[in-house]
Amino acid sequence: MSMRKWICAGALAAMAPCAAAADYPTKPIRLVVPFSPGGGNDIVARFVAQRLTEAFGESAVVDNRPGAGSTLGTDLVAKSAPDGYTLLVTHNAIAINQTLYSKLSYDTVRDFVQVIEVGTTTNTLVVNPNVPARSVKELIALAKAKPGSLNYASTGAGGTSMLAMEYFKLETGTNIVHIPYKGTAPALTDVVAGQVQCMISALPGTIPFINSKRVIALATTGKQRSAFAKDLPTLNEAGIKGYEFDTWYGVHAPSKTPKAIIAKLNETINKALARDDMKHQLFTQGLEAVGGTQEQFAQTVRSEVRKMGRIIKASGAKPEV
């Protein structure tokens, strides 16, 4: 082949991804949720699917693929063609599982590219009303005065509620015993009954218990105060400097997906998240809209992989079998 033909061939190859992105999408987009229907991941996926369908004129459909702590659905996307037609919608689990599972068939950092962080919800530290603590400092003092005498509930080994509390223990040097449950409802029920003394759980599902005074809220876990509970301090404000453990939800794609397609998806979803009516739609379902660049979300995921790894190793957490 002549030099001129080589140059032309190279130019056409370089233009191909741009042309593909300009035409994208030309067929339905699949949003894989590695959890059963219902809950925050499903809410975010269906929100994104509707926005993409409206913007592109091509169907975006949600495909729930639960199993193995969300690793089955996540692996499916990791091994999919990197063409923008198979995307992953998940939360902190993608960062947690990198360390929680000793053997994964994918690598969170290597095999995925982040598209956008869609929304976040904070968690809240609550105690049974009979616990003699009405502040974070009082709870820490109580735990240190009687090591191992307090129990905390969680939604299961390796879950966000367990790791948030293990992070609390790690940062405060306290010994509080873990009691796992099969979900938020039974865990909170036993906090209310006094079978366990405290818990860190997602704020939206906990608000009814707080409002009815069946549990006492001491603080939230976010970087800043939650719009859902502006009167509650964050754990950072309450004295645990640097503590942050929100539950975040976002969109990911297989690595090697063309940058132009990632940029198009990011721009489209950001436009929706900037609208007041769209923010309100998420807010009424317990989520605060986030948005931002692909690079910002990628940095968040990398940081969370490191932080979750440190917490999991310190706590000795193992996946449920």
pLDDT in tens, the chain (321 residues): 555 555 545 555 555 555 567 899 999 999 999 988 878 899 999 999 999 999 999 999 999 999 888 999 999 999 999 999 999 999 999 999 999 998 999 999 999 999 999 999 999 999 999 999 999 999 999 999 999 999 999 988 888 899 999 999 999 999 999 999 888 889 999 999 999 999 999 888 888 899 999 999 999 999 899 988 899 999 999 999 999 999 999 999 999 999 999 999 999 999 999 999 999 999 988 899 999 999 999 999 999 999 999 999 988 888 876
Longest dimension (CA), the chain: 84
Is the fold of 27-121+247-315 the same as that of 123-220? Answer: yes
> What's the pTM?
0.85
Q: Where are the domains of the chain?
A: 27-121+247-315, 123-220
Q: Which fold has domain 27-121+247-315?
A: D-Maltodextrin-Binding Protein; domain 2 (3.40.190)
3-state secondary structure the chain: CCHHHHHHHHHHHHHHHHHHHHHCCCCCEEEEECCCCCCHHHHHHHHHHHHHHHHHCCCEEEEECCCHHHHHHHHHHHCCCCCCCEEEEECCHHHHHHHHCCCCCCCCCCCEEEEEEEEEECEEEEECCCCCCCCHHHHHHHHHHCCCCCEEEECCCCCHHHHHHHHHHHHHCCCCEEEECCCHHHHHHHHHHCCCCEEEEEHHHHHHHHHCCCCEEEEECCCCCCCCCCCCCECCCCCCCCCCCCEEEEEEEECCCCHHHHHHHHHHHHHHHCCHHHHHHHHCCCCEECCCCHHHHHHHHHHHHHHHHHHHHHHCCCCCC
CATH number corresponding to 123-220: 3.40.190.10
